[in-house]
Structure 1
Amino acid sequence: MLLCHGHRHQPTVLLPSLLPPYPNTVLPVCGTLFSRKPLLFSSVRAALDSKHHLQPLGPDAETDPLRLSRRQNALLLDRSHSHPIDGPPIDDEEREDELTRKKVVEEYSLATRRVPRFPGSIDFPRSGGLDLPPPDLRRVFDGDDRSLKRALEVRRGVAAETLKDALRAGKMSINYSTNLVSRLTEFVDRVVIGAATLKAVPEFAHLSFNARAKSYIQRSCVVSLVKWLKHNHMTYPQIAKVICMCPGDLQLVRRIAQWLKSIHVKGESIGVVLVKAGPLFEHSLDELEEIVNYLENNGVRKDWMGFVVSRCPQVLGLTMEELESRVKFYLDMGMNEKDFGTMVFDYPRALGFFSLEEMSNKVQYLKEFGLSTEDVGRLLAFKPQLMGCSIEERWRPLVKYLYYLGVQRDGMKRILIVKPMVFCIDLETTIAPKYSAVALRDYGNLDIVRFLQDIGVRSEAIGGVLVKFPSFLTYSLYKKIRPVVVFLMTKAGVTQRDIGKVIALDPQLVGCSITKKLDINVKYFLSLGIHLQSLGEMIADFPMLLRYNIDILRPKYRYLRRVMVRPLQDLIEFPRFFSYSLDERIIPRHKILVANRVNFKLRYMLSGSDEEFNQRVQFAIEKRKRFESGYANLDASDDESSHVVPVASS
């Protein structure tokens, strides 16, 4: 029974069945419980000297201080030292037992607080009540794994709270400290181990676990490191991972980060490199310098190094043997240092991300298209992103689809050389997407191949269209292809019947800009007096007409009209006139015709080789001579008949 002195309310009775099961439970008693009464301190000392379990309280018994919270125990022990109780002297054995019991109480004071409950709730105690462990804690914990795990979790919790307090003392917010410590589980374990190690040091042997953990945290300088990394734009998940990755001195993190700044790694990329570089902390700064110098000697410029390392931090995690073998792999394919350096700058993952076996398999697969080793080297130097494509997920499905469209191996080789980007795009999302109901309702057909079929391109000609212009597969259907088709049909006079023919003959029209190329050419031809319908027929006959530059078209048209004195209808009938060179084909052949006094249509004048043209000219000359000689004979016969004198009949 607890009697509350100086207050008028019913006394509080503590029954054994209603006592809380944990030593950190706070009992609702009055402050007079902590009065300096000899009876209370004698009961506390008697309870501390007892080696047996707690006995049930009788009606006249005083309160049991072991039922109090850990703070109350610590306060009572402190006051018992400051106000010793008169009694017989204590020998050495009793003093050692008392020190051992104090250590037990101190260990229990490290336990975490009980979860707060709302007023009036009932906390059912565990069976057996609360017992103090015997002095030999190591023997008890060795025999009970659950107790050992529980004690370890208690120490981890204490270390985590100590680390949070240190971070808050470093002027970091509560939320930031809590979030950071929640990810520093490995470092918290190191704090626990370090605090336990300091127990063997004489100057720390008398300190509590909290003090030893705090001392270890201060010696590790983790707070100053966190503040410095945060100042360098690193997020708390990156900071936590870097600290956990560093096996030894945490100052190594700062030294490596400063070295990364020296090779032009900037801003947020520092955290990315530290986290993703792999075994970066296993290398010394001299080894990292050796890696950078080796790359510089093989074509990677020094001012590119920060960009390369930022995009592929795994390069710094390679050993010198691995790096040399990878560089030799590319140089053996015919690359020079300039091509290698450019390739690494364009796509650093081609050097440090993939394994040598995976890279070799991709090179062998590219050779199956008929490419030589040097061709593959030039191809990878031009488009190193091919190394990032999966054979099974990207290349094989694309090859099967192209073969289904009628593209043979030579056509695939041309696609690979002319536009290697085709082998880097996703088949299902770009070339032959799987449609959804929303996509079909909002945007219609998203399949480029099916779109070609809808505008009139024959199925057997689609493969030729793709081989002739591989970039067709990389264009957006609704942002690039369809607007060009609509422009040709509405502004250039191409009929719906001929639009498929136009795209099949010259798919490069899809790659032309409407405002900067097509519209300008259409307006120029219309300004010459060509009607829209006639222009559409000219485009259907010769679609390349719209891809020429105006500066090339204007001199040819001026020569046709002013020098050759040909009508506009000749140009409408033969729009390929603009495809021939003015100085090398049109002017020389026109002079030959003028010299021999013959005349050809533009189609026969410009087409064919020089030998065929000379044969035509000779045939026309002979024909003209026969024609002229025939007229001469006819004129001579007419003259003879006019000079004949008629003979009179007798």
Structure 2
Amino acid sequence: MPALAVVGAAAAAAANCSLCFSSQHPSAQPPPSNSQPTNTVDLLAAKPTKSILEKHPLYLQTHSNLSLQFKEKILFLEIMGVDSGKALSLHPSLHTTSLHSIHSIIFFLQTKGIHQKDLPRIFGMCPQILTSNIKTHLNPVFNFLSHDLRVPDHNFRRVINKCPRLLACSVRNQLKPALFYLQRLGFKDLEALAHQDSVLLVSSVEKTLIPKLEYLVSLGLSRDEAVGMVLRCPGLFTFSVENNFKPKYEYYEKEMEGRLKELKEFPQYFAFSLEKRIKPRHMELVQSGLKVPLPQMLKTTDDEFRELITTRHAAG
């Protein structure tokens, strides 16, 4: 089935989905009517008309039973670069949201420095943003970035592109509790939290952050030692306990006969691939009869690692 026909079928299926949420109407207004659109997306956003739609091939290939308004929405999303079928399936309440409401959200994000070319990825990852309430949801997120994380207005785009999920999170129920928890642990660098480790702010404190810290403690570390590890390597909070921590620690403990002290000092161990980096290099060291500190074993490039082995052999 052609790609465009798939879009139409997916949209038609989404049209029959039961609604999870009622649509909300943002307060921001679209640009003045005298503004001049520069491309098809701008033209549709400014005033989607039947004549414009009927000239576009996508219009003819969408489901014939869909309303003109719904076809307008599908076409607008597709031209903007958003997979409309996927968005409507993942977020059914988008079905009842007006195109005017969607355009208001786009205009609001643009006033915050978000570029039009950023929107397909942002909406593709978080289609629920398209039905957000600007006053009660989106604006508080930008206030949080400005007041709590001290992000300058001109850096909003960089932060949102780094973690679009920020726009889909509740400030009261998610972002502020996560920031408070992280600050209590010792995360003091707000700039790093905003620009590098923002994924931690959209992580559940109870379901993600606390359990991972508790796992590290279960290895025999004190809580302060475990906290020290995540402060040195915040990425630990993003790794799966079952798929990352457990298999890598089991290999470290049983096969490498590693000491917890060295792991505590080099928490980045968990950031390396078990199959592609840890095991091959450990086996090569075993075959060579050598033992090197974890940082030298894992952080070096392939050439540096081979040179290290050659130098050690020559010295021995």
TM-score > 0.5, shorter chain as reference: yes
- Give the partner amino acid of 1:477: V
Structure 1 residues 600 and 369 mapped into 2: Cα distance closer, same or farther (>3 Å)? farther
- Give the partner amino acid of 2:97: C
Shift of 1:427: 0.9
Q: Name the structure 2 match of 1:597.
A: 289
Q: Name the structure 2 match of 1:465.
A: 159
- After TM superposition, the structure 1 = structure 2 runs for residues 344-423 of structure 1, keeping only pairs within 5 Å, are 344-346=16-18, 355-356=67-68, 358-371=69-82, 375-392=83-100, 394-423=101-130
- After TM superposition, the structure 1 = structure 2 runs for residues 514-553 of structure 1, keeping only pairs within 5 Å, are 514-551=205-242, 552-553=244-245
Is structure 2 residue 181 aligned with structure 1 residue 487?
yes
SS of 2:80's partner is coil
Shift of 1:602: 2.7
TM-score, scaled relative to structure 2: 0.70
Distance in 2, matches of 1:618 and 1:545, equals 28
Shift of 1:522: 1.6
Q: Name the structure 2 match of 1:624.
A: 312
TM-score, scaled relative to structure 1: 0.37
Distance in 2, matches of 1:397 and 1:563, equals 58
Shift of 1:587: 1.7
Structure 1 residues 454 and 529 mapped into 2: Cα distance closer, same or farther (>3 Å)? farther
Greater relative CO (CA pairs within 8 A, separation 6+) = 2
Distance in 2, matches of 1:354 and 1:555, equals 51
Q: Over residues 532-576 of structure 1, what are the superposed CA-to-partner deviations in whole Å (9 max), with x where a residue is unaligned?
A: 555444323432312433334133223324432434343234323
SS of 2:81's partner is coil
Distance in 2, matches of 1:531 and 1:454, equals 34
Shift of 1:347: 5.2
Check conservation: 2:253, 2:259, Cα contact below 8 A.
yes
Unpaired segments ≥5 residues, structure 1: 1-330, 433-446, 629-650
- Give the partner amino acid of 2:230: I
Check conservation: 1:457, 1:501, Cα contact below 8 A.
no
Is structure 2 residue 270 aligned with structure 1 residue 578?
yes
Aligned pairs, number: 271
Is structure 2 residue 144 aligned with structure 1 residue 451?
yes
Distance in 1, matches of 2:104 and 2:295, equals 46
Shift of 1:521: 1.8
Structure 1 residues 535 and 456 mapped into 2: Cα distance closer, same or farther (>3 Å)? farther
Q: Over residues 139-184 of structure 1, what are the superposed CA-to-partner deviations in whole Å (9 max), with x where a residue is unaligned?
A: xxxxxxxxxxxxxxxxxxxxxxxxxxxxxxxxxxxxxxxxxxxxxx
Structure 1 residues 473 and 621 mapped into 2: Cα distance closer, same or farther (>3 Å)? closer
Distance in 1, matches of 2:12 and 2:72, equals 20
Q: Over residues 2-51 of structure 1, what are the superposed CA-to-partner deviations in whole Å (9 max), with x where a residue is unaligned?
A: xxxxxxxxxxxxxxxxxxxxxxxxxxxxxxxxxxxxxxxxxxxxxxxxxx
Distance in 2, matches of 1:368 and 1:607, equals 44
**RMSD of aligned C-alpha atoms?**
3.5
- After TM superposition, the structure 1 = structure 2 runs for residues 184-263 of structure 1, keeping only pairs within 5 Å, are none
Check conservation: 1:386, 1:424, Cα contact below 8 A.
yes
Structure 1 residues 409 and 582 mapped into 2: Cα distance closer, same or farther (>3 Å)? same
Structure 1 residues 363 and 403 mapped into 2: Cα distance closer, same or farther (>3 Å)? same
- After TM superposition, the structure 1 = structure 2 runs for residues 172-191 of structure 1, keeping only pairs within 5 Å, are none
Unpaired segments ≥5 residues, structure 2: 23-62
Distance in 2, matches of 1:488 and 1:454, equals 17
- Give the partner amino acid of 2:160: L
Shift of 1:479: 1.8
- After TM superposition, the structure 1 = structure 2 runs for residues 65-84 of structure 1, keeping only pairs within 5 Å, are none
Shift of 1:425: 0.8
Distance in 2, matches of 1:618 and 1:481, equals 45
Shift of 1:461: 4.6
Q: Name the structure 1 match of 2:6.
A: 334
Check conservation: 1:407, 1:463, Cα contact below 8 A.
yes
Q: Name the structure 2 match of 1:428.
A: 135
Q: Over residues 250-288 of structure 1, what are the superposed CA-to-partner deviations in whole Å (9 max), with x where a residue is unaligned?
A: xxxxxxxxxxxxxxxxxxxxxxxxxxxxxxxxxxxxxxx
- After TM superposition, the structure 1 = structure 2 runs for residues 14-413 of structure 1, keeping only pairs within 5 Å, are 333-335=5-7, 340-346=12-18, 355-356=67-68, 358-371=69-82, 375-392=83-100, 394-413=101-120
Check conservation: 2:256, 2:282, Cα contact below 8 A.
yes
Q: Name the structure 2 match of 1:474.
A: 168
Distance in 1, matches of 2:212 and 2:233, equals 14
Q: Name the structure 2 match of 1:78.
A: none
Shift of 1:333: 4.1
User: Highest Rg: 1 or 2?
Assistant: 1
Q: Over residues 383-414 of structure 1, what are the superposed CA-to-partner deviations in whole Å (9 max), with x where a residue is unaligned?
A: 4533433333x333322332344433332111
Q: Name the structure 1 match of 2:258.
A: 566
Distance in 2, matches of 1:452 and 1:572, equals 32
- Give the partner amino acid of 2:158: G
